[in-house]
Chains A and B, each alone.
Chain A
Amino acid sequence: MEKNKSVPEFWGKEDWQAIWIGFIIILLACVAVLTKAFDVSAVKFSTWAVGEAAATKAVPLAQQLGAWAFWRKLIVTVLVLGVLFTLGVKLQGGSVKKYIPAFLVLFVIALVVRFVSAEFTLNRYLEWAFWALLIGLLISNTVGVPDWLKPAIKTEFYIKTGLVIMGFSVLFSNIAKFGLYGLGIAWIVTPIVILFMWWLGTKVFKIDNKPLVITLASATSVCGTSAAIATGAASGAKKDDLSIAISISIIFTILMMVFEPMIIKAAGMTQLMGGALIGGTVDSTGAVVLAGNALGPEAEQAAVLVKSIQNILIGFIAFFVAVFFATRVDRNSEKKVGAGEIWTRFPKFILGFFAASLIASFILQPLCGSGAVKDINTVLDQYKNWAFVLAFTSIGLDTNFKEIAKQMQGGKVLWLYIIGQVFNIALTLFAVWFLLSGVIFDIPVLDLYK
């Protein structure tokens, strides 16, 4: 590992760097949006289509690439991320000369990933994380990764930075959006499912890889990819662990998005109950909206309300996972770990994630309003996505199929997810019945015509 001993920890260590790099980007976005003095938006591809007549919202590629705004944003993105990450690498003691060309090539591969994952048919079901892994894996398992590209493969650095930026979009005010009903469905169930999967994975299936167990448990019970990224980083999960947890979650999300509304309809459940069940169990937010919509407008709103509470949980769960792993898992003896040791082991970037969330929720939102925070998050979301695409492309480039197969532990990991998800559905169903059926409490009324 590269180290530069003359640089203070705050500037030279990856965890702290993720915080200040993340906050520089957050500050840039805040100043740009609030003053409207300049535009710091990152580049993104709009949906495009290959001979897809139904893609009414698709923007032809020629039109996208022909616009100066696209190229200006591309230059801004490369400059912002390139300068900040290069500075980070320099302070870590790495070679800037080697990093810059490698970063530029990695960015081009990431650009291809974002281009592919913006295609109408491809982006309906599979998120960019999947395409990043796939394209990275294809390169590393066919032509191989040249040595000169390796200095840019800094998966954890990109993930941690992306998470700090993401923290700004985790708005704590959402906690009361669905009152005690929402809190009961989202927050009572989620930790129980995590603990159940922890017990099943570590005690029953005897899976030694604890970071993989907690990453998979969080992906199952909280909200798929984003929760997996946050808890994976908090627990020190390996790149293969993250690939496995996210791949399983993505595939099952597709199945649940289609079959869960069908089963709910067949069971004759009310829209409110069905929507809340979907919001509490389907992993990706996009799939939650679509599955809720399949049941009706009330179901869609109920699903979104429950999911928005789950989205807040990411920060708290990542924080507690970091504390748990620092105090209980990452130790060699049964001796009690001192505060100093815990602090040394604690992944500091989680503090940045948390701070960003608190600043957005309790300072910026009350001061500047929800609209301004939403506009800032529109800018930040793209930087978060770029950081994660760079990370997942790096994972793909740094992984081979054999390693992934080995980490599946002969199928135990798959069954851990399946049993955990069934438990999640059963427990959420009970919570939904208990709170929303009208048998015990009054049925809440959603005002859909606001």
Chain B
Amino acid sequence: MASGKEKAFKVVTIVAVVAILACALWIMANKMGLVQGYDFGAGAYYYADIPGYDEIAKEDVYKTSVPYWVHVVLFLGWGWLMYRLWIWIDKRK
């Protein structure tokens, strides 16, 4: 039999789901968040799906003096460190 805590958790979850869905429907019904002139919305999940993405994401909008290889080394180094941390977390009970 479900305990009081479990019941309360279920009720809170159901309320949250209803509220979230209602809110999303309200946004869609009122066409909120859209931009006139852009032929896409949140439904364009990947950059390649966005019409005219190259005009939106301008080339060389930021210039850095840091060499490219430094970015690569930091990228790989941090990735490796995080992977080790993942294994450590997973080993803990």
Contacts and interface: CB of A to CB of B under 8 A. Distances in A.
Contacts of B35: 290, 293-294
A410 interface: yes
A257 interface: yes
B43 A125 contact: yes
Contact of B90 (A176, A251, A258, A328): A328
Interface string A38-52: 000000000100000
Interface in A115-152: 117, 121-130
A415 interface: yes
Nearest to B49: A381
Interface in B14-28: 14, 16-17, 20-21, 23-24, 27-28
B20 A124 contact: no
Chain A interface SS verdict (over half): helix
A70 interface: no
Interface in A350-384: 370, 374, 377-378, 380-381, 384
Contact of B71 (A128, A180, A385, A444): A180
Contact of A290 (B42, B72, B82): B42
Contacts, number: 213
A262 to B, nearest CB: 10
Interface of B: 6, 9-10, 12-14, 16-17, 20-21, 23-24, 27-28, 31-36, 38-50, 54, 56-64, 66, 68, 70-72, 74-75, 78-79, 82-83, 85-87, 89-90, 92
Contact of B66 (A126, A180, A191, A258): A180
Interface residues of A, number: 88
Interface of A: 47, 54, 57, 117, 121-130, 166, 169, 175-183, 187-188, 191-192, 194-195, 198-199, 202-203, 223-226, 250-255, 257-258, 283-287, 289-291, 293-294, 300-301, 304-305, 307-308, 311, 316, 320, 323-324, 328, 370, 374, 377-378, 380-381, 384-385, 410-411, 414-415, 418, 444-448, 450
A287 B47 CA distance: 10
15 contacts: A175-B75, A183-B71, A187-B78, A194-B86, A224-B45, A257-B33, A284-B44, A284-B45, A286-B42, A289-B40, A290-B33, A307-B47, A320-B86, A381-B49, A411-B14
Contacts of A181: 62
Nearest to B90: A328
Contacts of A291: 33
A76 B88 CA distance: 50
